[in-house]
A and B are shown apart, each in its own frame.
Chain A
Amino acid sequence: MINSSLKQLGTLLAEKKISSVELTQQFLDRIDQHNPEINAYIALDKEITLAQAKAADQRIAQGSATALTGIPIAQKDIFVAKGWQTTCGSKMLENFIGPYDAHVIKQFDTAGAVNLGKTNMDEFAMGSSNETSYFGKVQNPWDRSRVPGGSSGGSAAAVAARLCAAATGTDTGGSIRQPASLCGLSGLKPTYGLVSRYGMIAFASSLDQAGPMAKSCEDMALMMNVMTGFDERDSTSLQREKEDYTRDLNKPLAGLRVGLPKEYFAEGLGADVAKVIEEAIAEYRKLGAEIVDISLPNTQLSIPVYYVLAPAEASSNLSRFDGVRYGHRAAQYDDLMDMYCKSRAEGFGAEVKRRILIGTYVLSAGYYDAYYLKAQQIRRLIAQDFEEAFKHCDIILGPTAPSTAFKAGEKADDPVSMYLQDIYTIAVNLAGLPGMSIPAGFTQTVDGKSLPVGLQIIGNYFDEARMLNAGHAYQQVTDWHSRMPEGIA
C-alpha cells in the first residue's frame, strides 16, 4: 500500500477497498514510528488530518471525488495553512498559526486531498541540506547519517520514507530538484507563474515556485493538475488555459531531441554521478531520442548571479518579520531600535542573517549598479542561453546535483561548497523555466549504502507535459523510482 501510486490509491479508495481514514491512519502510524528519527515533519495535527479524511470518505461515498480525494499528502511548511502552525523552519514563526490558506493549500483542500502535516525545511527555504531549520536536521532515509538536501528536505524525506503519498515543495534555486535527487524521488519545479505564490512565504519572489514531489512522473502530473491555474491574488500568476498534465504521459519518445549541455558534464561533477547520468542518457537513446550537444555558456555565472539577486529580494521580503505585529519579539528591549535588533537577532538563524546581510549590501547606494543591476543583466544572458539551446533540442538532460547526499555537518561551515550544490539547478530558476529531477540510479558508499542519483530534465516554458512524458517513458523502462530505502517498511 505505501508504495502505491496516486492512481492506484485513487482506485482503491473509489472501489472502497480502503477508506481515506484507514489510509490516512496508516500514514499517521508510520509517521509516529519513523518521524522521531527522520524529523521530516514540523507540525502534525491528527484531529484536522482525520477530519479531512472523514470528509473525503463522505465525498467518495457521494460520488463527487476527484483524482486526489482522500489521498494523504504532506505540505511544505512554507505554505500558510489556516489553523496550522506555519513556521517556515524558523524560530521567528515558531508560534505562528496560519490565519488563512495559501493558494496551493486551498487547491488541494478543494480537490479533497488530506493534509498529513507540515514538513521540515531549511529556514525560510535558505539551504541545500535542511540543516538550517530551527526545528532540527532531517535524516536522509537512504543513509540516516546524510542530509536529505534542501530546502524541501522534509518533503523529500517524507516521500522517500513513505511517510506520505506525495508532498509539495518549493524551488528558488533547486529546492525541489536537489532534495528529490538526494532522496531518490521525482520533483518538478514548474514554469515561473504557473503555480500561484499566494500564501507561500516569500524567499526570492522572482524565483520562487511551488511544485510537486512524488514517487513518479505520473503522480506529479496528477498533482500539477491541482496546483496550477491562474490566481488573481498573485500578480505574477499567468492567465492560461487549464492543462491536463497527464495527457502526453504515454507518448512515444521517438524523435525527441535531447540536448546535453557540455557545461553540465565538466569539472565539478562527481565521476560516480556522471556514470549514472550517462547510463540514463543511453536509456533515452534506446527509447528513440536523438541526442544533441548544446552549450549553456553562462552556467558558471548562475551561482554568483543568484547569490546577488536572491539575497537582495530576501533582505526586503524578510523585513516584515520585525516583532511588531506577529512572530518572535524579544522579551527585553530598551527602545524601538533595540526591539528590532534583538527580535531579529534571536528569531533568525545564521544562514538567514548571512543572506539578509548580503542582500542589504548589494542593494545599498553605491553598490546597486555593480551588483544588483549587473546581476540582472547576466540573468538575461542566462535566459538567452536557454533560448538558443531550445532552437536545437526539445528537452535538456543532465545531472540535478554534482554529488549524491553528503554527510550531515560536512558542508555546514563552508557556505560556498554548499551553494555549489545548486550549480545545475539555479540557472533554470533565473530563466523561469521548468525543471525536474527523477531517480536515475544509485552510487555505492564505502560502507555499502546505496545513494540515489537524480537526472535533471529541463524543458522550455510551459513544456511540463512533454517533460513529464519524457520522465514517465523512462520510468516505464526502469525501476529506480519505485525502490525504497531499507529499514522503513
Chain B
Amino acid sequence: MEWEVVIGLETHTQLQTKSKIFSGSSIAFGAAPNTQASAVDIALPGVLPVLNKEAVQCAIKFGLAVDAEISPRSVFARKNYFYPDLPKGYQISQYELPVVGKGSLTIHVGASAGNENGYEKTINITRAHLEEDAGKSVHGASEGMSGIDLNRAGTPLLEIVTEPDMRSAAEAVAYAKKLHELVQWIGICDGNMQEGSFRCDVNVSVRKKGAEKLGTRREIKNLNSFRFMQQAIEYETRWQIETLEDGGTIQQATVLFNPDTGETKAMRSKEEANDYRYFPDPDLLPLQITASDIEAIKAVMPELPADMKARFEGEYSLSAYDAAALTASRGIADYFIATTAAFGGDAKIAANWVMGAVAAKLNEEGKDISASPVSPTALASLLKRIADNTISNKIAREVFEAMWAGEGDADHIIDKKGLKQVTDSGAIESIIDEVLAANAAMVEEFKAGKEKAFNALVGQAMKASKGKANPAQVNELLKKKLAS
C-alpha cells in the first residue's frame, strides 16, 4: 500500500525590532534574568500595552515578500491560559483577523531519487500574524524552586502558517530554509536558530495515496534545526504509517522530538488542551494599515531574491543556476554585487570567483560570507589584475590564498612574491626554445599528429615560467614555432 505524507508548518520568527512589541524594553539576547522586563512586561496592575509600529512594518515587509494580502484592518486578541512565564495570564496575539493573509513562497527541492535535477514547488501561505513571546521558566534555579525570567516576555513574533502543501521531509526542510533565508533577506529576523529566533512547529499526517481526506495530524513542536526537522518528520511519518498498518489509529497530539533518540513523543493530547477563550483585546484598537503605509514600506523594501535572480540572468547573462546560487542568501548576493561594482569587468568572472574560490574557502572554514577575510573590493582588485593580464587565473588562485591568509592586498602579494605575468614575447620565446630543445620526443609526437602533445608542451612552458608566462602568448608562440 502506498502512503502519502502531508505536512504544514507554523514558524515563529522573532522580529528584529529595537524594543518589545507592547513595551519599550530591549529584546537583546542573553541579558541577566529579568533585567529587560518593565512594568508592562511583568504585568503589574494597571499597566497597558502600546503597539510597536516597527513590528507592524516587519509584518508588512513579510506580506510584500510573499505576495500576500495585507489586511487594512486586523485585530489583536487575547489567548487566555495560566502559566508562570505568561505574566498577564494571556498572550496578546491575532486570531480571527491576522495582519497578513494568503500568500505564497516558491521553493526549490534538491535532487533525489526519481528527481535528478530537483524541482520547484509553490507553497501556499495561509496567514501570518503578530504576537508576543512568553518568558522562560528556569527549572531548578534554586533548590526545589523554579525561576521565571521575563526578559523574553513581550518579544515580537511573526507566526507564519502554511497550507498543508508539503509532501516530504525534503519539501518541508526546503520551505523552512527558504523562509529562513527570506526573513533575513528582508531584514525582519536575525535567523539565529540557537537563540530561538526562528523555530518551527510541523504538522504531520499521512493518508493513502489518492485519498482526498486528510489524516489525523500530530504537531511536532519547537524544532530549531533543519537537521532535526528532517529527522523528526521522517521518524514521525514512519511511526504513523506503522501505527496505521498495525491496525491502530492516530490521535491528534502535540509531540516533541528528542534529538538523542531520534524519536518523537506525544506531549499532551489536544483533547485535553486549554480552551483559550480568545476575544479581541479591549486595550488595543484594531490595527489599521493604509495603502500609503504599504507604499512607504515598498519604497524601502530590498530587491527580493526572485527579482534579483531574474535581473542577474538578464543584466549579467548568468545561467539560471548561477543566478540562483548567487541569490541563495542576502550576504552572498550583496558580496557579489559589491564585487562586480568594484571590479567593473565581466560579471561572469566575479560570479565564478564568488561561487568558486570564495565559497570553497568559506565552506572549508565553516564561515559565513559576512566573515570573509577577503572583502568584495579586495577581491575586485585581484580580478582586475587577471583582466589586465598582470597575472593568470591560476596565479590568481595563489594570490587569493595569500589574501585569505591575511598577507595583504593583491598588488602587494603579486609584487612581493614576484608573480607578475611574463608578457615579454622575447622572454617567452626563449623559454619555449628551451622547452622544445629539452622535449624533442614530444615535438615528434606532435608532428606525427598527436594533438595532446601540444598541451603537454604548453604545460612544460608554463612550468618553466613558474606559471608566470601569459598562457595565451605561450599558446600562440608555441604554435608558430612548431609550424615553422
Give A residues with C-beta under 8 Å from B: 79-80, 86, 88, 93, 96, 99-100, 102, 197-202, 204-206, 232-236, 312-313, 315-316, 318-322, 324-326, 336, 340, 360, 363-365, 368, 372
**10 A-B residue contacts at CB 8 Å?**
A88-B45, A100-B39, A199-B47, A201-B45, A234-B50, A235-B51, A312-B279, A326-B44, A365-B277, A368-B278
Complex Cα distance, B47 from A99, in Å, reads 11
The interface residues of chain B, by DSSP majority, are classed as: loop
Q: Are B80 and A102 in contact (CB-based, < 8 A)? A: no
User: What are the residues of chain A within 8 A of B275 when measuring CB–CB?
Assistant: 364-365
Cross-chain contact of B90 among A197, A316, A364 (Cβ < 8 A):
A316
Q: Are B45 and A372 in contact (CB-based, < 8 A)? A: no
Q: Are A363 and B283 in contact (CB-based, < 8 A)? A: no
User: What are the residues of chain B within 8 A of A325 when measuring CB–CB?
Assistant: 42-43, 87, 148
Q: Are B277 and A316 in contact (CB-based, < 8 A)? A: yes
A357 shortest CB reach to chain B, Å: 13
A99 shortest CB reach to chain B, Å: 7
Complex Cα distance, B49 from A315, in Å, reads 18
Q: Are A319 and B285 in contact (CB-based, < 8 A)? A: no
Q: Are B282 and A319 in contact (CB-based, < 8 A)? A: no
Q: Are B279 and A316 in contact (CB-based, < 8 A)? A: yes
Q: Is B314 an interface residue (CB 8 A)?
A: no
Complex Cα distance, B51 from A12, in Å, reads 46
Residues of B72-119 contacting chain A, CB below 8 A: 78, 80, 82, 84, 87-90
Q: Are A319 and B88 in contact (CB-based, < 8 A)? A: yes
Complex Cα distance, B77 from A363, in Å, reads 12
User: What are the residues of chain B within 8 A of A336 when measuring CB–CB?
Assistant: 84
A158 shortest CB reach to chain B, Å: 21
Q: Is B284 an interface residue (CB 8 A)?
A: yes
B23 shortest CB reach to chain A, Å: 10
User: What are the residues of chain A within 8 A of B44 when measuring CB–CB?
Assistant: 80, 99-100, 326
Residues of B34-75 contacting chain A, CB below 8 A: 39, 42-51
Complex Cα distance, B42 from A99, in Å, reads 12
5 extra interface residue pairs, beta carbon distance < 8 Å, beyond A100-B44, A235-B283: A201-B46, A235-B48, A236-B285, A325-B42, A365-B277
Q: Which of A99, A235, A322, A372 has the most CB of B within 10 A?
A: A235
User: What are the residues of chain B within 8 A of A340 when measuring CB–CB?
Assistant: 82
B172 shortest CB reach to chain A, Å: 30
Instruction: List the B residue with the shortest CB-CB distance to A363.
Output: B277
Complex Cα distance, B281 from A235, in Å, reads 11
The interface residues of chain A, by DSSP majority, are classed as: loop
Complex Cα distance, B279 from A372, in Å, reads 9
Number of B positions contacting A (CB below 8 A): 28
User: What are the residues of chain A within 8 A of B89 when measuring CB–CB?
Assistant: 316, 318-320, 322
Complex Cα distance, B51 from A364, in Å, reads 27
Q: Are B45 and A316 in contact (CB-based, < 8 A)? A: no
Complex Cα distance, B275 from A88, in Å, reads 29
Complex Cα distance, B285 from A201, in Å, reads 19
Give B residues with C-beta under 8 Å from A: 39, 42-51, 78, 80, 82, 84, 87-90, 148, 275, 277-279, 282-285
Complex Cα distance, B285 from A239, in Å, reads 13
A90 shortest CB reach to chain B, Å: 10
User: What are the residues of chain A within 8 A of B43 when measuring CB–CB?
Assistant: 320, 325
Complex Cα distance, B47 from A79, in Å, reads 11
Q: Are B45 and A86 in contact (CB-based, < 8 A)? A: yes
Complex Cα distance, B87 from A360, in Å, reads 18
A198 shortest CB reach to chain B, Å: 6
Complex Cα distance, B275 from A124, in Å, reads 25
Q: Are A319 and B90 in contact (CB-based, < 8 A)? A: yes
Q: Are B48 and A197 in contact (CB-based, < 8 A)? A: yes
A43 shortest CB reach to chain B, Å: 15
Instruction: List the B residue with the shortest CB-CB distance to A198.
Output: B48
User: What are the residues of chain A within 8 A of B84 when measuring CB–CB?
Assistant: 322, 324, 336
B273 shortest CB reach to chain A, Å: 11
Q: Are A102 and B279 in contact (CB-based, < 8 A)? A: no
B303 shortest CB reach to chain A, Å: 35
User: What are the residues of chain B within 8 A of A202 when measuring CB–CB?
Assistant: 46, 283
Residues A363 and B279 in contact in the complex (CB < 8 Å), given A100-B39, A316-B80, A316-B90? yes
User: What are the residues of chain A within 8 A of B278 when measuring CB–CB?
Assistant: 363, 368
A368 shortest CB reach to chain B, Å: 7
Cross-chain contact of A234 among B39, B42, B48 (Cβ < 8 A):
B48
Complex Cα distance, B90 from A468, in Å, reads 40
Residues A322 and B45 in contact in the complex (CB < 8 Å), given A316-B279, A360-B277? no
User: What are the residues of chain B within 8 A of A102 when measuring CB–CB?
Assistant: 46
A431 shortest CB reach to chain B, Å: 15
User: What are the residues of chain A within 8 A of B87 when measuring CB–CB?
Assistant: 320, 324-325
User: What are the residues of chain B within 8 A of A319 when measuring CB–CB?
Assistant: 80, 82, 88-90
A483 shortest CB reach to chain B, Å: 36
Q: Are B277 and A236 in contact (CB-based, < 8 A)? A: no
Q: Are A199 and B88 in contact (CB-based, < 8 A)? A: no
A92 shortest CB reach to chain B, Å: 9
Complex Cα distance, B46 from A96, in Å, reads 13
Instruction: List the A residue with the shortest CB-CB distance to B40.
Output: A233
Q: Are A200 and B279 in contact (CB-based, < 8 A)? A: no
User: What are the residues of chain B within 8 A of A326 when measuring CB–CB?
Assistant: 44
Q: Which of A201, A233, A340, A364 has the most CB of B within 10 A?
A: A233
Q: Are A324 and B148 in contact (CB-based, < 8 A)? A: yes
